[in-house]
Amino acid sequence: MLTDHRAVTNDTVLNRAAVDALSAHVALCDKHGVILGVNAAWRQFADDNGGGLPDYGIGLNYLRVLEAAVEWARVNGATKTEIAVTHGVRVGFSDVLSGRLPRFQIEYRCDAPGTPRWFLLTISRVTDHPFASVLVAHENTTAIKDAEAAQHEHQRVMAGEFSSVIEAIARLIEQRDPYTAGHQRGSVGWCNFIADEIGFDDDRRQGLLLGAGIHDIGKIAVPAEILTRPGRLSTLEMEMIRGHAAAGYDVLRDIAFPWRIADMVHQHHENFDGSGYPLGLAGEEICIEARIIAVADMFDAMTSHRPYRAAHTVGDAIDELRRMSGTRYDPEVVTAMLRVIEREMSDAMSVTKGSQG
Ligand SMILES: [Fe+2]
């Protein structure tokens, strides 16, 4: 009996020491959400950051604490994101507490006090404990986030430095198919306008324009005589041309770009309704950049002169965009492109009028 008691006591001490050794801030709550205990990191964080909750929150209902935090955020002019995160945590805790969810996780940014930090909050259901029902753990992930951001920035700078090499590759592709020379650059211009319309930040725009600039890189694997032959192609020849999307992916897949360049190239002939190639992806399975390149690609190709046919009018290209919206093309990207065309045409008209006056 004494031995059993010692074993239980030793287990409790060991568990306590293990939880106190964690760097995450941990609290255990009962089936009503009342905080039963917290670990050393939780207490240390509260001491370092001005506390806020009496006795580190022990004895308080965590659900009520979160409800008060949502209200505090609303009253004190917190940002929409901060209010949404606090509300999300309250809902997540409630869902785990009631058993609707076994686990809830959210990453959030903590700006005050001190320098901004990132935390990963995990709320887990505890099923094998006589008193505790929910475990709350806030893990500081700032170092991971900083390392990810530094790596992304490094790759972004490297990609910028390699831009002249990438432009040379784009020219090389175009020289093999003089009929479409300048087409990739034309697509880049339209992609830039669509990025403005959709609200891409500078980083995403840089990735999109890089992908658009080399979207046909896989044509390097297609014999030049097939690329340049006007008129009807055999089924086999068509298959060889279609292979350029997968060939481009194979060329780029192992390069550590900070953006999904290989996917953009791979997916630029996928259709929104799943009828495209090479993978038959549909909707948001296709990365947004590839959906943009598809629209820019089509518009530039249709409105450009080819030796074997005259350029279509802008009106024809607009009709085609509207006709294919939702089937071949993402309707939101088409809407953005139509706004771009309208704006560019009205700008061009005003320039023409100005020069006539
Ligand atoms: Fe292509």
The tens-digit pLDDT sequence of the chain (357 residues) is 344 555 556 667 777 888 888 889 999 999 999 999 999 999 988 888 776 678 888 999 999 999 998 898 889 888 888 888 899 999 999 999 999 999 999 998 887 667 788 999 999 999 888 888 999 999 999 999 889 888 888 887 877 777 777 778 777 777 777 666 677 778 899 999 999 999 999 889 999 999 998 899 898 888 888 887 777 888 999 999 999 999 999 988 988 788 999 999 999 999 999 999 999 999 999 999 999 999 999 999 888 766 566 667 888 999 999 999 999 999 999 999 999 999 887 766 555 555 443
Distance between Cα 215 and ligand 1 center (Å):
6
Res 184: pLDDT: 76
Tell me if 14 is assigned to some domain.
no
Residues 132 and 161 both lie in one domain: no
Question: DSSP letter string over 74-126?
Answer: HHTT--HHHHHHHHHHHHHHHHHHHTS-SEEEEEEEE-SSSS-EEEEEEEEE-
- Cα separation, 261 vs 264, in Å, equals 5
Residues 127 and 194 both lie in one domain: no
Distance between Cα 245 and ligand 1 center (Å):
6
Distance between Cα 318 and ligand 1 center (Å):
20
Residues 308 and 337 both lie in one domain: yes
Tell me if 265 is assigned to some domain.
yes
Which of the listed residues 124, 140, 156 is the one where a domain comes to its end? Answer: 140
CA neighbor of 139 nearest in space, from 41, 268, 67, 282:
41
CATH number at 169 reads 1.10.3210.10
Tell me if 17 is assigned to some domain.
no
Which contiguous run of DSSP H or E holds residue 153?
helix 142-161
Residues 114 and 57 both lie in one domain: yes
**pTM value surpassing 0.85:** no
Distance between Cα 269 and ligand 1 center (Å):
6
Q: Which domain holds residue 320?
A: 147-350
Residues 202 and 331 both lie in one domain: yes
- Cα separation, 116 vs 122, in Å, equals 20
Residues 110 and 156 both lie in one domain: no
CA neighbor of 170 nearest in space, from 211, 206, 226:
211
List the structure tokens of 144. Answer: 């991971």
Are the CB atoms for 221 and 244 separated by under 8 Å? yes
Distance between Cα 241 and ligand 1 center (Å):
9
Which of the listed residues 73, 108, 140 is the one where a domain comes to its end? Answer: 140
Residues 203 and 65 both lie in one domain: no
Residues 93 and 182 both lie in one domain: no
Tell me if 235 is assigned to some domain.
yes
Residues 98 and 163 both lie in one domain: no
Helix (H, G, I), strand (E, B) or coil at 26: strand
DSSP conformation class of 329? B
Residues 176 and 278 both lie in one domain: yes
Tell me if 279 is assigned to some domain.
yes
Residues 70 and 162 both lie in one domain: no
Distance between Cα 234 and ligand 1 center (Å):
18
Asked whether the CA dihedral 272, 277, 280, 285 is positive or negative, the reply is negative
Tell me if 38 is assigned to some domain.
yes
Question: Which residue bears the tokens 């799943």?
Answer: 274
Q: How many domains does the chain have?
A: 2
In a 13 Å sphere around the CA of 289, the CA atoms on its Cβ side amount to: 24
Strand order of the β-sheet with 117-125 is 35-38, 25-30, 132-140, 117-125, 103-110
Residues 187 and 135 both lie in one domain: no
Res 356: pLDDT: 44
